[in-house]
Amino acid sequence: MSTGIQSQTLGVLKYSGGGDWYSNPTALPQLIEFCNEHLGTTLESQIKTVSLSSDELFDLPWIHMTGHGNVFFSESEIETLKEYLLGGGFLHIDDNYGMDSYIRPILSGLFSEAPLIELPTTHPIFTEFYKFPEGLPKIHAHDNKPPQAFGIILEGRLALLYTYESDLSDGWEDPRVHNDPESVRQNALQMGANMIHYVFSH
């Protein structure tokens, strides 16, 4: 089944603060392979690493960010991120465990007119391709809290998705990395595919 998504390059966000932005190096390649096989996409296998000061940032429609620790954005980087999102870009932030206390205050103050909100299970990102009637799947235990998906919606479009207590990108990685049960890994990949489908369809 083809979604009509043409050849595109996805990005990984490199950020300051000491957090390991380079975590899960096999995650996006594995997700791209899954989407190209099951969604009929033709996403490029090569991943671009960009920062919020990179010239290539605005060439990438979909950027992924993860890590375990501190995140720091300068004022100019925050303004660039806002411009990127308002211009149609999409940022997925996946708390790899330990990022939440740093990233959530940044996201909560990003747009005064568009607060960070928890997405309902009826949001199209959970329903438009693979069905997740209970919302975001749980991939790794972390603090054994329920997984939550938060978003920033700009002009009716989900422009930023923050996944917490799920660890989706661990589930995307090569199966030899975490040895997750195949059913858990499939849940992670299918949720990721829903994200790709949503972004390129809206």
104-131 residue pLDDT tens: 999 999 999 999 999 999 999 999 999 9
Answer yes or no: is pLDDT of 4 > 60: no
Ordered DSSP codes for 91-131: EEEEE-SS-HHHHHHHHHTT-TTS--EEPPTTSGGGTSSS-
Which CATH number is 11-201's, of 3.40.50.12140, 2.60.40.420, 1.20.120.330, 3.90.79.10? 3.40.50.12140
What is the token pair recorded at 116? 């960070």
- Distance between CA atoms of residues 197 and 85, nearest Å: 17
29-48 residue pLDDT tens: 999 999 999 999 999 999 99
Answer yes or no: is pLDDT of 196 > 80: yes
Range 142-155 average pLDDT: 92
3-state DSSP helix/strand/coil percent for the chain, to nearest 5? 35, 20, 50
Answer yes or no: is pLDDT of 102 > 60: yes
Does residue 110 contact residue 141 with C-beta atoms inside 8 Å?
A: no
Neighbours of 60 (CB within 10 A): 22
As a whole number, the mean pLDDT across the chain is: 92
Model pTM score: 0.93
- Residue 104, judged by CB atoms within 10 A of its CB (0-12, 13-18, 19+), counts as middle
169-186 residue pLDDT tens: 999 998 887 677 999 999
